[in-house]
Each structure stands twice: as C-alpha cells, then as structure tokens.
C-alpha cells in the first residue's frame, strides 16, 4: 500500500465505507483486503452464527499476515476498521461499494439484489464474488443493474491478487472503471472478462487442465502424484511468474507466432483426443480419492490447508518484499 | 547433491562416464546435470559447429548457476568433467548411459539407434530426450531396444527438475528402474508415463490449457495479458508448490471426492464447450502475436529469455536453499 494507492482509495470512496454482505470465508477475506487498505468495513450475514464467527476468523487471518511481514500495521488496528451489523440496511448505510459474497444460488442472490435495489443510493457499486453465476442470471432489470458487476476473487483474496471483473450486458462502463480502480487501489490484479462465459477465465483454464489430468489417471498413463509433480516441479515453475502466452512467446526463436506454427498441430491433436461427455464418474472419483488418501489422510486435510496458506503467504511476502 | 546421492551415482555408473549425443541446448543442459553430479561427460554432435559452441555455452550456464548459489563447486571444476569428441564411437566409449538429444525427426533418431545398437555393450542404457516421438517410432526391434526409453526433460534440465520416463513396449523394467535411480541421483524429479500417449503428461496439460487460452482470445473474452495474469497472479501461485490434484483435495471440506462432485459438472461443461478441429489459424496467430509484440518487441525477446532464466534460478535457489 503506497501513498498513491491511499490517495486513490480516498478519492474513489470519498471517505465512505465498504459493505461486506455474506461473511463466510470469501466475505471475511474481502474484509481483510478493504480494511488493510484503510477503508471502514461494515459486515452483515443473514446467519447470525456466521456473523458471530467472522471477527475472530479475520483476526486469525491478520495474525498470519503479520507473521509473514505482510501487514504494515498491527492486526488490532486493521480489525478496528471492521464492524459487524445486524441488518442489511445498516451494512450498506452510507457506503461507496458493496461486496456480495452470499450463497452461490440464484434464489438467494436475486432477492438480495431486489433488496439492494431498494436500499442503495444512485452512486453505489455492487460487486458480486460469484464464481459460477453470471450477472445476467440475477442482476438485470433493476435500477441498480448498471452499477452491478461480478468481482470474482481467488481464495484468499488478501493473498492471491487476481480479480476477474465480469460485467453483465446492463453494467455501465463507468461501473467497470470504478471497480477496476478500486481493485487496483486495494492491491489486486484486475482481469477484464468481456463476455459472460461459464467459469470466466481462471476456472476455465483450471477446468481443462483438470479434465486432462483426470483422463490421464483414468487411462492409467500416470498416477495423481506424478501428474502433480509435472506441475509443481515443472509447469508451475514458469507459470508462477509468467503466464502461458509469455511462456510460449519465449520458447521459440521467432516468438509466439513461430511457436504456434511448430506446436499448434500437436496441441490441437491432444485437445481433440478427448471426449468430454460426462463428469467424472464414481469409479474414477474413487480411484483418485484412494490415491490421494494414501498420500494424505482425511484427518490431515486441515493441517495441510494451514501449510498451504503458510506457503502462499511466504510467496506473497517474496513477491511484495514482505 | 548429498553424500547419499554421490554414493548412488557411483554405484549406478560403476565410475563410468555418460555420453551426450546431440549438443544443442537440451544436450548442453543435460551435460550440466551430469557433470554437476560428479560424472564424467563425453559430448558428440554430428555438426562440428554445434560441438564448437557447446563448452562456452555450458560455461555460461554454470556461471549463471554460480551467481545464484546453485553450484557447490567452481564452474571450472564442473566444466573439467565435460569433453567434446569427434565421433559417436568415442562419445559412447566405456559409458554407463547415453542421453540422446538429436533432432526431433524419426529419420535422424532411427539411424542413430542403429549405430548405437552396433556400438554399445550389453549393459548401457539409452535415454532419449524427445518430447514428441515415442520410443515405438524409432527404437524397436534392435538388440538395444530393451535398454532404450524416453527420458524427457523440461528446459533447462539443470533448473527445472521434472523428467518424464516413457518406456516403449520393448523397454525392460530394469531399464526403467535404472533411469529412475539415475535421475534421482542427479537431482531430478521422476514422473512415470506408463503409456506412449502423444505429449506424455506435461505437454498434454500445457496443450489443453493453451487451447482454452487461445479460444478465449479468439472469442474476445479476454486479452492475452489478462489471461496471463490469471495464471501468474492466480493459478500459478498454487501450482508452484502444489499439483492440481493436491490443490483440489484441499479446496473442498471433504477433500477431492467432495470437490469432484461439486465442480465436476461445471468442468465437464467447460471442456465440452470447445471444438478442437483445427490448429490455430493464421488470423488468430496474427492477433496473439500482435498483442504480444505490443508488450514485448521481437528485439527484446532475447533479453526477456535471460530475465526468465534469472527468475528460474532464483526459484531454484529458494527451493533448494541455494
């Protein structure tokens, strides 16, 4: 967070707070992002049990960040900017922006949009964290529709910077511009998804890689662990600092066009060699699960997630100089 | 390189050298791997111009490794174990193992196999670096066939540890066991590819991700750079220390089986939404190239490759403690 970003935030929000609606893992993560950036955060969840857990959850996340040198203030100072409230109306009172992270269900998101339509002033932007439901499915035909878009994070958003912005056909360009500026001001990396394709970009890339990985297991070509090695000790090295287009642009003498001509036919054959007629069946899921459970028991999952978060924080610290 | 690995190498090779046949970038990289591990290396290329360049090339690579704390000896000491020779016969004289990295052409590899068949003793293993030609296409029906397999590296092998072992139907299990042991003794990470599928594992994963990435550009969903961001600032973070199976095993409460049930249908729909009937056409290649050239001119490619290698070395140093 540099001085330029601080000024940007104040200019963008005119000193107003941000509302977090939906206080599960994703909402809590967003609260950290905004509070760490200096914003006041008002948090609401329809489930009071979730609300009761969110501040201790956030405190733990902040302490982890501090341990890795990723927090410039004391956790208590950041936490002091976050308060929970008992109603949606209180949560959105006087805010510049609403981050919605409720259940991934149209029959939950649509009613919420109707409520926000009634509550919000004419200059409040609403970002939905949804990964699977396009704005067109729940945010059209309302007075707020021009000010609603998808603002889809990677979990946890306070560590992994990519955010996908996905406007609906009714989203105004100024709304996208606002969300872009806000995301950059709070330290995220913005990706513009210009059409409402299922899975947006990141999850589509993950989807196709996983479909191929699972097919290789099904065919007996390689074990789950060996496939994992090709990524964590191979592909993942380059992809940790270069995207796929830059990677291939550097991997042929004449750049990406040269690469595409040389490797294009092979890649087309590989992709065409698969049918994708059905989701992974029970037998294959059982096979993958049994291979994974030999490496990591179900009882160890929780600890391994904590290990993963420590590794992510170390990565973030290395990237941002701690 | 620890003492255990040193012993393993001596036991495996019985003090005999390794032959490098084909001294381009890949062969030179392999020479570094073997010499750094303490082995004597004999290098041959049918093209004397290539041969003339290889030791200076290797010296530069060794100096880079030293700069990043990845070399436990002086470059000169490692280089002293590598010598170039003028004939194939000299290169394979008395060796334990041959690493073949000649042109990716059956009409080059097959004649070479015939020559090796005549030259090699009964206990010499041959590993081919090929990424695109299975052993079945050039290594069958010879007396050496049981001792030939694919030993496919990631470029550069002295930095990125993954090696894919791909036996042909005639490869003996003892050959695979030898190659596995040798690779581990020289510090590589072994992946067993149990069927001769095109692209093996790593390049198949890269292939399908690239096919989706290019389709997203073609559809106008996102720019090359934004797609790259989703990987280098998103997916690539997790994939730099966890493979795709471990990643998803940790991303649902009940582990991978839980994840597969929740996300499987979406991923099947995403993968099924694409046709793969043709390689990328000229118009699309032109579009991707023009986007890339706006970010990086052709004149800057070389320098960017050097930057990439510095970043890879820094990654390797961080992994292996320098």
> What are the DSSP calls for A2-19, one per residue?
-HHHHHHHHHHHTT--EE
Is the same domain home to A49 and A126?
A: yes
| Facing residue for B232 by CB, picked from A240, A248, A276 | A240
Phi and psi at residue A84, to the nearest 5° = -95, 150
With 70 as the cut, is the pLDDT of residue B54 above it? yes
Assign B229 a pLDDT band (cuts: 50, 70, 90): very high
Query: End-to-end distance of chain A based on CA atoms, in angstroms?
Result: 12
Positions of chain A with pLDDT under 70: 1, 3, 321-322
Assign B322 a pLDDT band (cuts: 50, 70, 90): very low
Is the same domain home to A177 and A212?
A: no
By residue range, what is the domain housing residue B153? 3-192
Inside any domain, residue B264: yes
Residues 6+ apart with CB under 8 A from A318: B318
Report the CATH number that the domain containing residue A181 is assigned in CATH. Answer: 3.40.50.720
Helices (H), B68-170: 75-79, 88-92, 106-119
Q: Residue A107, exposed/middle/buried by CB under 10 A (0-12, 13-18, 19+)? A: exposed
How many angstroms separate the CA atoms of A52 and A57, rounded?
Answer: 10
Inside any domain, residue B197: no
Please give the interface size between A and B, counted as residue pairs whose CB atoms are below 8 Å apart.
Answer: 361
- Nearest chain B Cα distance for residue A79, angstroms: 26
Of the residues B162, B192, B222, the one at which a domain ends: B192
Is the same domain home to B185 and B209?
A: no
Percent of chain B with pLDDT over 90: 93
- pLDDT tens digit sequence for B130-151: 998 999 999 999 999 999 999 9
- pLDDT tens digit sequence for B243-265: 999 999 999 999 999 999 999 99
Query: B33 with B158: CB under 8 angstroms?
Result: yes
Report the CATH number that the domain containing residue B241 is assigned in CATH. Answer: 1.10.1040.10
* Chain A residues in contact with B206 (beta carbon < 8 A): 235, 244, 267
Inside any domain, residue A197: no
Is the same domain home to B172 and B140?
A: yes
* Chain B residues in contact with A160 (beta carbon < 8 A): 233-234, 237-238
Is the same domain home to B73 and B208?
A: no
Inside any domain, residue A14: yes
Please give the helix or strand (H or E) that residue A116 lies within, else none: helix A106-119
Inside any domain, residue A179: yes
A219:B195 CB<8 A: yes
The 3-state DSSP class for residue B198 equals coil
* Chain A residues in contact with B274 (beta carbon < 8 A): 208, 271
B242:A222 CB<8 A: no
A255:B292 CB<8 A: yes
* Chain B residues in contact with A244 (beta carbon < 8 A): 206, 209-210, 213, 227-228, 231
The total number of structural domains in chain B stands at 2
User: What pLDDT shows up at residue A321?
Assistant: 54
A205 Ramachandran zone, left/alpha/beta (phi>0; psi -120 to 50): alpha
- Nearest chain B Cα distance for residue A31, angstroms: 19
Percent of chain B with pLDDT over 70: 98
Query: A162 with B234: CB under 8 angstroms?
Result: yes
Q: Which residue out of A209, A283, A321 would a mutagenesis test of the B interface target, given it has the greatest number of B Cβ atoms within 10 Å? A: A209
Of the residues A159, A192, A225, the one at which a domain ends: A192
User: Partners of A97 in the beta sheet?
Assistant: A18, A125
- pLDDT tens digit sequence for A226-250: 999 999 999 999 999 999 999 999 9
Residues 6+ apart with CB under 8 A from A112: A21, A88, A100, A102
B194:A228 CB<8 A: no
Of the residues A174, A192, A210, the one at which a domain ends: A192
Query: A274 with A212: CB under 8 angstroms?
Result: yes
B211:A235 CB<8 A: no
Query: A136 with A168: CB under 8 angstroms?
Result: yes
* Chain B residues in contact with A277 (beta carbon < 8 A): 268, 272
Is the same domain home to B47 and B163?
A: yes
Q: How many residues does chain B have?
A: 322
Strand order in the sheet with A18-21: A82-84, A41-44, A18-21, A97-100, A125-128, A148-153, A162-167, A189-192
Is the same domain home to A179 and A247?
A: no
| Facing residue for B198 by CB, picked from A203, A239, A270 | A270
B211:A209 CB<8 A: no
User: What pLDDT shows up at residue A78?
Assistant: 98
Phi and psi at residue A87, to the nearest 5° = -140, 160
Inside any domain, residue B89: yes
Mean pLDDT of B168-192: 97
Is the same domain home to A218 and A106?
A: no
With 70 as the cut, is the pLDDT of residue B195 above it? yes
Mean pLDDT of B235-241: 95
* Chain B residues in contact with A269 (beta carbon < 8 A): 198
- ipTM, 2 dp: 0.95
With 90 as the cut, is the pLDDT of residue B232 above it? yes
- Nearest chain A Cα distance for residue B300, angstroms: 10
Is the same domain home to A206 and A186?
A: no
Is the same domain home to B288 and B248?
A: yes
Long-range contacts of B72-75 (CB under 8 A, 24+ apart): B72/B1, B73/B36
Among B118, B123, B126, B191, CA closest to B153 = B191
How many angstroms separate the CA atoms of B1 and B13, rounded?
Answer: 16
Inside any domain, residue A258: yes
Inside any domain, residue B307: yes
Is the same domain home to B45 and B133?
A: yes
- pLDDT tens digit sequence for A278-297: 999 999 999 999 999 999 99
Is the same domain home to B15 and B155?
A: yes
Among B153, B158, B147, B130, CA closest to B34 = B158
User: What pLDDT shows up at residue B89?
Assistant: 98
How many angstroms separate the CA atoms of B157 and B25, rounded?
Answer: 10
Among A78, A47, A46, CA closest to A63 = A78
* Chain B residues in contact with A286 (beta carbon < 8 A): 257
Q: What is the CA radius of gyration of chain A?
A: 21
């Amino acid at each position: 967070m540099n001085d330029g970003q601080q000024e940007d935030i104040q200019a963008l929000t005119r000193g107003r707070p941000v509302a977090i609606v939906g206080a599960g893992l994703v909402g809590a993560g967003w609260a950290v992002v905004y509070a760490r950036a200096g914003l006041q955060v008002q948090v609401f969840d329809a489930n009071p049990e979730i609300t009761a857990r969110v501040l201790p959850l956030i405190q733990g996340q902040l302490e982890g960040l501090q341990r890795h040198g990723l927090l410039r203030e004391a956790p208590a100072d950041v936490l002091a900017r976050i308060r929970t409230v008992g109603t949606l109306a209180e949560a959105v009172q006087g805010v510049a922006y609403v981050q919605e992270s409720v259940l991934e269900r149209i029959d939950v998101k649509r009613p919420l949009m109707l409520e926000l339509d009634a509550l919000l002033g004419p200059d409040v932007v609403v970002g939905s964290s949804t990964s699977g439901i396009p704005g067109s499915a729940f945010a059209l035909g309302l007075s707020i529709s021009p000010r609603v878009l998808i603002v889809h994070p990677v979990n946890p958003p306070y560590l992994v910077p990519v955010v996908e912005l996905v406007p609906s056909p009714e989203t105004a360009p100024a709304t996208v511009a606002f969300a872009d500026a806000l995301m950059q001001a709070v330290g995220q990396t913005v990706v513009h998804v210009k059409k409402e394709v299922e899975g947006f970009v990141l999850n589509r890339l993950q989807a196709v890689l996983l479909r191929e990985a699972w097919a290789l297991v099904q065919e007996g070509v390689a074990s789950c662990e060996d496939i994992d090695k090709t990524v964590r000790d191979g592909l993942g090295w380059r992809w940790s600092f270069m995207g796929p287009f830059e990677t291939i642009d550097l991997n042929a003498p004449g750049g990406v066009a040269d690469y595409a001509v040389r490797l294009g036919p092979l890649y087309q054959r590989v992709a065409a060699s698969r049918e994708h007629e059905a989701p992974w069946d029970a037998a294959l899921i059982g096979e993958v699960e049994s291979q994974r459970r030999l490496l990591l028991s179900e009882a160890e999952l929780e600890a391994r997630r904590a290990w993963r978060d420590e590794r992510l924080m170390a990565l973030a610290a290395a990237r941002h100089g701690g």
